[in-house]
Amino acid sequence: MKLTFGSLNVQSFTNWETREPAIVEHFERTDPDIILFQEVTFLPQISSYTQVSLLNQSLHYPYEATHVTRLQPSHEYDAYREGLGVLSKWPILKTETLILKQQAHDEHQRIVQLIDVLCHKKIVRLAHVHFSISDNDENLPREHLYELMEILTARGETRIIGGDFNMNDIDIHADLWQDDYISSSTTPYISYPPMNKRVDYFLLPKSYGFLDIKATADGLSDHRALEVAITDTVQTHNILQRVIHHSAKL
C-alpha cells in the first residue's frame, strides 16, 4: 500500500486572497491522498468558513474533518478560534480531539486530532499535531510529544504522527519515539524558511516506511508544504535508508 500526505501550517487568514489560489494550485498539482492543515481558524469577521472548507470548494476532497476547538486571546478579534483540519480521498471512519496539558508559561492550549482512515481495506490511524513553541525553548513541544506518546501507549496504539511539531531538531527528542517510530528527519529539508529551520515532521510506526520526503513551494504560508509518500512495506523503507546512507558517504 502506498499513501501520500501533504501538510501545511496554513497561517490563518494572513494574506489569504493572495495565498489561497497558490495553495489550491499546489495541492491540485501534488494531489496527495490526505492533507493535514495546522493553524486553521474560524473568524466570522472574515469568513463563515474555515480555510479548510474554503480550499475544499476548489480541491473537492470527498472527506473533510476540522476541529477548531481552541479559543485564543486576540488584540484584533473578539473571538479567535483555532485548530486543525484534514482533507482525505479515503473514508474517514472516526475522529477524536484531545486537549493537551497547558504548561504555566505557555499562552496556548494545544490539541491533537486523532483520525482513522479506511485505505485499501486497511484502517490507517493518524495523530495530527501542532505543538507549542516558546522562542528557542524545546521543552514545550517535548512535553506535548511526551504526553501524546503516553496516551498512545496507554491505548496500545501506534499512529502516523504528522504536522507542525515546532521542534528545531526532533532527533534531540528521539528517546521519546525511536523505539517504535522512524522520522522524516532522515531526509534533510527546511520547512520554516523565515528562520531556516525544519519544524514540520512525520513520525511513522516501524510497520511503515518512507518512500519520499519533500518540503516545497515557498509562498503558500510562512511554512513550506511538506510532501510525504509512505508504504506499509518495511523492506522498501530499509532499501531507501541504505540508499540515503550510501549517498551521504559519497
We report the CATH number of the domain holding residue 150 as: 3.60.10.10
Domain count within the chain: 1
Give me 107's grid cell: 499562552
Q: Is the pLDDT of residue 172 over 80?
A: yes
**Would you say 40 and 83 are in contact if contact means Cβ atoms under 8 Å apart?**
yes
* pLDDT tens per residue, range 19-33: 999 999 999 999 999
Please indicate whether residue 163 or residue 70 has the higher confidence score (pLDDT): 163
Confidence at residue 178, expressed as pLDDT on a 0 to 100 scale: 97
In one letter, which amino acid is 241?
Q
* pLDDT tens per residue, range 192-207: 999 999 999 999 999 9
Segment 171-176 shows an average pLDDT of 96
Domain that holds residue 163: 2-249
pTM of the complete model beyond 0.85: yes
Confidence at residue 70, expressed as pLDDT on a 0 to 100 scale: 73
The phi and psi torsions of 237 (rounded to 5 degrees) equal -60, -45
**Would you say 141 and 165 are in contact if contact means Cβ atoms under 8 Å apart?**
yes
Edge to edge, the sheet with strand 92-99 lists: 92-99, 111-119, 122-130, 160-164, 200-205, 181-183
d(CA 185, CA 9) in angstroms, rounded, equals: 18
- E strands present in 73-184: 80-88, 92-99, 111-119, 122-130, 160-164, 181-183
Banded model confidence at residue 241, pLDDT cuts 50, 70, 90: low
* pLDDT tens per residue, range 37-78: 999 999 988 999 999 999 999 999 999 999 998 766 666 666
Segment 149-154 shows an average pLDDT of 98
